Amino acid sequence: MKSVCIIGSGPAGLVAAKTFLQSGQFKVTVYEKDDKIGGIWSFPKRSESDGYLSSRTPTNLSKFTVGFSDLSWRSLGTGESHVPMFPAAAQVGQYLELYRDRYVPSSTFKLQHRVVSADREKQDGGHRWKIVSETKVDGPEPAGDSTGANTKEETEYFDYVINAAGFFSKPSVSSRLIPPSKTVKEVHTSQFRELDDLFVERSSHAGKNILVYGGGNSAGEVASNIAFQLSSSQYSPNASIHNNRFEGVKVYHVTPRPLYAIPPYVPGDSANTFMPLDLKFYELKWRQPGPIVSSSGPLGPEAAAALYSAIHGIAGDQKDLGAEALVTTEETTPYATLSESYAEFVRSGLIIPIAGRVSGYKEQDASTVTAIVTTNDGTDTPIPNIAASVVANGYTPTAALSFLSSTTKLALEYDETSTRLPILLQNYQTLHPAVPDLGFIGFYEGPYWGVMEMQARLLAARWSGTEIPIHPDESLERLRSLRQAMRERRTDVPQYWFSDYIGYLEEISSALGLERNDPPFASAGVGPISPARYLASKDAHEEAVATMEDLKATLDDCAKGKFRARAAFRALQGLWQVERRIESKRVRMPSGTFVGTGTFHPRAPTEKGVDLEYLYIEEGDFTLLSGQKSPVSQRSVYRYIEATDTLSEWVVNPIDGIAVYRAHELQFGEMGGGGEEACTARATGLRAEDNYRTDYCFEFRAVALRGLEVMHEIQGDGGEYVSVTTYKRPGEDR
């Protein structure tokens, strides 16, 4: 029986171990440098600041994409527990632990064994891999220079090696432009958890600015996260002097290219329906009829235009956000940031995008610097009062290659200056022909779990004697050309060059002769892609069936209007112009007109079980029919709960902003026949003493709200009262 060494026990390492063990033809050993499995998804950490992710960080894609074929997320949830559509990082860690418990025996793992070298040596007319690992030994810590004193090295030999150490193995900070100093601290996105992580001192930073630079997904994510915490610090209950340390702070996001902000839920196939973004993007019906052929690398004009149109159909042209840096003037290959709130923070002015690249800085005073941004036309623009800087240049894979010998790296055509394509791999990014017994899983930008599972199956089949033809897109000559295009920053190179999720799963499944599991969908060409559609003979079919049932049920619920509450809640964020007309026959509620502003301020939920929360502040002037005018203001809280998909309004204490009781919950109307009817909701869940009726009409434009109308009517002995309130964005033509 051949032996396989797997380095790393994150998703790639676990699915590789399970796949090779399941084949029955390999003896498998998994090396893991930490004391638990899971990679970046391993929790709990020694402290919240450890690792690249907070335990609360949600996945970018839904649980139908973040998962393997034969373990449904249904298996993780028990009783009344709720697994959200976009699970938190700690829940992903729990999923991986369950996957290990079911499929990979504990004897397979060498935990706390860090691989320090992997050398390919000639042996018995062939080659074997010499793996040297370092592990801790028991005993007291020695005094003085104790380097290596409490560790020992172990050596073992294997027929094959799989590198599953992760493409995003180390934060990329090579372009750091503001050196660490007593003046301004600079951190990588992976180091940010709380606002105080960004600053040298825990003091007042009111009126200063935070710099974020980078043009990819992580830049938009961290800018949004910082903006959310700034908002929450100002509008949480009992805002104190401590919270006011960040009053007036802005986030300047420097990006070399426009970023399109894509929220978790995007428009569905019918008007006023919404669905998880990956279920929309990876719908099989969008592919051409016939066998699906994958593609990778630079996009041709037709493909770039199609992607541009698709992104525009979701995010719009973004001109309404008031940020020129986010608007394209031609149909170039689009870049996106997957973020719930980036667009609305830009609209509100809390995030200020600047087109260009940070080229330097100048000392300003004892606590700030001025950043110099070279814009795309070559002009230098200063950004003053920078008190903190965040590098959002992503990650480098160099750490995951450090244990390979220089000879092996040379054979892999390693280029340390090419962080996007450091080595050249064929067979769907699994191996190089010069080193056929060294495999890679998940070693590319943006690895998807379904693709990693297919890569593991592909390697197991190949090392068991199955010949897999080389894809035309993966000739070494073409890969070298792609690497050069990346160096030149050519605009036809997409954000993720190896990203044809549907194409790879379909092609590899066909090449390996995997069993299809398409029901309850009518055919293989209908519905979103899912790892659960493709099964090996020994896979747990009941788990795949459960995933497909849940996937179909989710789509059916979306078509019936589920997640409209989530989409409406998200789109309310920020500043609105408000006009309210009141016709009243009640003595203490006079007729008149209110004109002013209303702002939905995001803040951390103030009650357990609530997922999202706003403090709504309305200010303006009320004019009586007599012409008398007086200033008025009011506050309320809006909440969203995913488990019940409900949006509600709460009455608050005007002094401290704490929610006192629920005014009502919005019940969205029945879906019509797919026309352009409005998205409506009605107040429900009223208290026994309430005798009013409130109707909402949401006017969506893609993921944004163009406007909102609320009709509030009171009946009863005191006389009729009717108010009609219209909300529109500042500068919006109606």
> For residue range 536-589, what is the model confidence (pLDDT) as tens digits?
999 999 999 999 999 999 999 999 999 999 999 999 999 999 999 999 988 788
Task: Determine the angle formed by the axes of helices 501-512 and 449-462, rounding to 10 degrees.
Answer: 30
Burial of 116 (0-12, 13-18, 19+ CB in 10 A): middle
Residue 364 has a CB neighbour count (10 Å cut-off) of 17
pLDDT digits (tens, 9 = 90+) for 686-734: 877 777 889 999 999 989 999 999 999 987 766 788 999 999 999 876 5
Handedness of CA 556, 452, 172, 186 (dihedral sign): positive
- Average pLDDT value for residue range 639-654: 95
Q: pLDDT band at residue 239, thresholds of 50, 70 and 90? A: low
pLDDT of residue 298: 93
User: pLDDT at residue 241 above 50?
Assistant: no
pLDDT digits (tens, 9 = 90+) for 2-39: 999 999 999 999 999 999 999 999 999 999 999 999 99
Angle, CA of 514, 518 and 523, to the nearest 5°: 115
User: By the 8 A CB rule, do 267 and 273 touch?
Assistant: yes
Q: What is the per-residue burial (b if ≥16 Cβ within 10 Å, else e) of 160-198?
A: bbbbbbbbbbbbbeeeebbeeeebbbbbbbbbbbebeeb
Please state the pTM of the whole predicted model.
0.93
In CATH terms, the fold of domain 564-728 is Lipocalin (2.40.128)
Residue/partner pairs of 470-478 with CB below 8 Å, 24 or more apart: 470/426, 470/427, 471/294, 471/296, 471/426, 471/427, 471/428, 471/507, 473/294, 473/295, 473/296, 473/297, 474/296, 474/425, 474/426, 474/427, 474/428, 474/429, 475/426, 476/413, 476/424, 476/426, 476/433, 478/297
Structure tokens at 453: 């599972």
What are φ and ψ of residue 553, in 5° steps?
Answer: -65, -40
pLDDT of residue 125: 86
Bridge partners for 118 per DSSP = 131, 404
pLDDT of residue 672: 65
Structural domain boundaries in the chain:
2-169+396-513, 173-258+318-393, 564-728
What DSSP element (H or E) covers 455?
helix 449-462
- Average pLDDT value for residue range 381-405: 92
Residue tagged 């249904």 (tokens): 74
- Average pLDDT value for residue range 148-158: 88
pLDDT of residue 585: 85
In CATH terms, the fold of domain 2-169+396-513 is FAD/NAD(P)-binding domain (3.50.50)
Whole-number Å distance between alpha carbons of 573 and 576: 9
pLDDT of residue 692: 84
pLDDT digits (tens, 9 = 90+) for 327-375: 987 778 899 999 999 999 999 999 999 999 999 888 888 888 999 999 8
- Of 156-170, 355-369, 422-436, give the lowest mean pLDDT range: 355-369
* Residue, of 333 and 173, whose pLDDT is higher: 333
pLDDT of residue 577: 97
Q: What is the CATH number of domain 173-258+318-393?
A: 3.50.50.60
Whole-number Å distance between alpha carbons of 497 and 476: 15
- For the chain, give the mean pLDDT: 91
- Residue length of the chain: 734
Burial of 287 (0-12, 13-18, 19+ CB in 10 A): middle
Burial of 711 (0-12, 13-18, 19+ CB in 10 A): middle
User: pLDDT at residue 132 above 90?
Assistant: yes
Q: pLDDT band at residue 654, thresholds of 50, 70 and 90? A: confident
Highest mean pLDDT pick, 200-204, 576-580, 675-679: 576-580
Handedness of CA 35, 40, 42, 47 (dihedral sign): positive
User: By the 8 A CB rule, do 221 and 177 touch?
Assistant: no
Percent of the chain exceeding pLDDT 90 equals 73
* Residue, of 176 and 478, whose pLDDT is higher: 478
| Intrachain domains 2-169+396-513 and 173-258+318-393 with the same fold | yes
User: pLDDT at residue 646 above 90?
Assistant: yes
pLDDT digits (tens, 9 = 90+) for 554-569: 999 999 999 999 999 9
pLDDT digits (tens, 9 = 90+) for 705-718: 999 999 999 877 66
pLDDT of residue 652: 94
